[in-house]
Amino acid sequence: MARVVESRRRAGLDPLKFSQPLGGALAFLGLAGAMPVMHGSKGCASFAKALLTRHFNEPVPLQTTGITEVTAVLGSGEELVVHLDAIRAKQRPEIIGLLTTGVTEVSGEDVAGQMRQYIAMMEHTTPEGAPLIVRVSTPDFIGGLSDGWSAALRALVTTVPFDAPEPAGGAGGAGERSRHRDETVAVLVGPSLTAADIDELRALIRAFGLEPVLVPDLSGSLDGHLAPAWQPTTTGGTGLAQLRRLDRAGLVITAGATAAEAGADLASRTDADLVHYDHLSGLRAVDGLVAELMARSGRGPDYEVRRARARLADGLLDTHFHLGGARIALAMEPEALVAVGSLLHDAGAQIVAAVSPTEAPVLATAPWDEVVIGDLIDLEERAVEGGAELLIGSSHVRSVADRIGAPHLAVGFPIYDRLGAALRTTAGYGGSLRLLVDAANRLLDHHHQHAEHHQQADHHQHADHRADPPREHRAERRDVNATQHRLDPFDELDVLCEEPTC
């Protein structure tokens, strides 16, 4: 159990934290035909859209109500109605995620009451074509990205109306509904899972004959696919029809600590069984999920699952030679911090610094000594104190790594100095293995680069010394140079271990 401590400073100097509205918008981007709308000033949405676009390298649908100082004082209710009407008419989304910001939260407006009136009017005038509107309270002056994701997910599963049950007779009778309830699994995921992670999780559940409904599903919307045509809303993800049938799931799995509260809400609403995992990184965590799927389906793991597990087990052994004892510093969202850190800890690494932007209960479960709630300055100070050999975090962590002369592995959000952020993995058997290999290779690359640099420096230094040696040593130096050459560390070990000739 880790000790969670606050930063020594009262103010953040090099921020690591992102706002709640950004986290809520990211969650809605995993729904098909969705349009996140930030109820606040234009700057809030512009900053979030820039970050999301750079991270995914894809066009990101995101709108704002464009609150000004005048409407913030006099009331933004009319402005909200005008913008929602325009979005419905032009973009025609199936789902609208309305996210409040600091401006609307501080002004004290009754946004919930305004939305109830608007939804009632909308359903009365256009009952067939009305989108699902989900209002989420996401003040950006408290919490962070993970809190916004959690709030959006909770609002979604408690707001979505379920389809009416089919008649008891015929093919859609009680027996058919019971079979579908046994086979359908609702999987609520946290922000640490990438599009590739979600694909792997879906394949794992289907390997046991179960049909997962993942919420939200970034693998369908922001996985880097080339859409056949431009559309103003998200191009994939969990559809509204799937959301309306979540009550048919007999099992709710929460894959990530951030989704825990939403999973409890959904299970309570649908009377389904609930299984929670703080993360799905590492052999122990994935084995727990596989055991649950085996018990639920009555099937054993197929060849592909067993093979993937065997690869991870072998990868733990292989990477242990490079990660064992390696001093690693981490900075990322709480759920991802514990997931990545736990996996590296299993491989023998020492977590010498772990910084989270916000506090969360999952941080106390980390299998190392301390987690700091702070910023990138805290990361740099503790990484230097601990002699960190590798820094893992978003692209913002790279500057810290450069300053202290350590390698950097890009994991988390945002990643804008590497391509394929949505395809990086940390979960499942395969995702865990790829993260271990990436971390070990990053250390190896850094060590090789430093070895080459030192060899070149030594070569130039020896060349300077040999430029004009004393006359009495020239013959001796010539003989030595003719018979000796500089050995790299591995050559020296070979020489030391070489058996003497008979």
- Please say if the pLDDT value at position 255 is more than 80: yes
Same-domain pairing of 305 and 327: no
- The answer to whether 426 touches 340, Cβ cutoff 8 Å, is yes
Structure-block tokens of residue 157: 């599963």
The predicted pLDDT at position 458 comes to 55
CA distance 175 to 315: 45
- Please say if the pLDDT value at position 487 is more than 50: no
Q: What is the CATH number of the domain that holds 362?
A: 3.40.50.1980
- Taking residues 207-233, report their average pLDDT: 94
Between 182 and 286, whose confidence is greater? 286
Is residue 165 domain-resident?
A: no
- Please say if the pLDDT value at position 10 is more than 90: no
Same-domain pairing of 292 and 320: no
Same-domain pairing of 324 and 307: no
Domain boundary, last residue among 443, 463, 482: 443
The predicted pLDDT at position 452 comes to 58
Same-domain pairing of 318 and 408: yes
Same-domain pairing of 304 and 317: no
15 CB neighbour count, 10 Å cutoff: 13
The predicted pLDDT at position 73 comes to 83
Structure-block tokens of residue 27: 């969650």
Domain boundary, last residue among 280, 311, 342: 311
- Please say if the pLDDT value at position 497 is more than 50: no
Q: Are strands 273-277 and 251-255 parallel, antiparallel or unpaired?
A: parallel
Same-domain pairing of 331 and 417: yes
The predicted pLDDT at position 1 comes to 84
Domain boundary, last residue among 159, 186, 212: 159
- The answer to whether 270 touches 262, Cβ cutoff 8 Å, is no
CA distance 20 to 40: 13
Q: Whole domain around residue 123: which residue ranges?
A: 20-159
How does pLDDT run across 380-394, given as a tens digit for each residue? 999 999 999 999 999
Residues near 442 by beta carbon (within 8 Å), at least 6 away in sequence? 390, 407, 408, 409
CA distance 31 to 233: 10
H or E element in which residue 329 lies: strand 327-331
How does pLDDT run across 265-275, given as a tens digit for each residue? 999 999 999 99
pLDDT tier at 499, thresholds 50, 70, 90: very low
- Whether the bond between 161 and the residue before it is cis, its omega within 30 degrees of 0, is no
The predicted pLDDT at position 488 comes to 42
Domain count, the chain: 4
- Whether the bond between 470 and the residue before it is cis, its omega within 30 degrees of 0, is no
How does pLDDT run across 61-98, given as a tens digit for each residue? 999 999 888 888 888 888 899 999 999 999 999 999 99
CA distance 255 to 405: 35
Residues near 235 by beta carbon (within 8 Å), at least 6 away in sequence? 32, 220, 221, 225, 227
The predicted pLDDT at position 168 comes to 55
Same-domain pairing of 185 and 300: yes
The predicted pLDDT at position 298 comes to 95
Rounded to 10 deg, the angle between the 20-28 and 42-56 helix axes is 60
How does pLDDT run across 306-335, given as a tens digit for each residue? 999 999 999 999 999 999 999 999 999 999
- Please say if the pLDDT value at position 26 is more than 90: yes
The predicted pLDDT at position 72 comes to 82
The predicted pLDDT at position 127 comes to 72
pLDDT > 70: percent of the chain: 86
Q: Are strands 95-100 and 132-136 parallel, antiparallel or unpaired?
A: parallel
- Taking residues 20-34, report their average pLDDT: 98
Least confident of 117-131, 227-241, 287-301: 117-131
- The answer to whether 136 touches 175, Cβ cutoff 8 Å, is no
Same-domain pairing of 205 and 252: yes
Q: Are strands 273-277 and 370-373 parallel, antiparallel or unpaired?
A: unpaired
Same-domain pairing of 426 and 355: yes
The predicted pLDDT at position 21 comes to 97
Comparing CA positions, the residue from 51, 37, 271, 213 lying closest to residue 136 is 37
The predicted pLDDT at position 483 comes to 34
Q: How many helices (H) and strands (E) does the chain have?
A: 19, 14
Q: Are strands 95-100 and 34-39 parallel, antiparallel or unpaired?
A: parallel
The predicted pLDDT at position 71 comes to 84
Same-domain pairing of 123 and 220: no
Least confident of 115-119, 311-315, 363-367, 408-412: 115-119
Is residue 114 domain-resident?
A: yes
How does pLDDT run across 442-484, given as a tens digit for each residue? 999 988 676 555 555 555 555 555 445 444 443 343 343 333 3
pLDDT tier at 177, thresholds 50, 70, 90: low
How does pLDDT run across 94-142, given as a tens digit for each residue? 999 999 999 999 988 888 899 999 999 998 888 777 899 999 999 999 9
Is residue 439 domain-resident?
A: yes
3-class SS string, 354-401: EEECCCCHHHHHCCCCEEEECCHHHHHHHHHHHCCCEEEECHHHHHHH
Rounded to 10 deg, the angle between the 283-297 and 195-206 helix axes is 40
Is residue 133 domain-resident?
A: yes
Same-domain pairing of 74 and 197: no
- Taking residues 172-178, report their average pLDDT: 57
Same-domain pairing of 363 and 403: yes
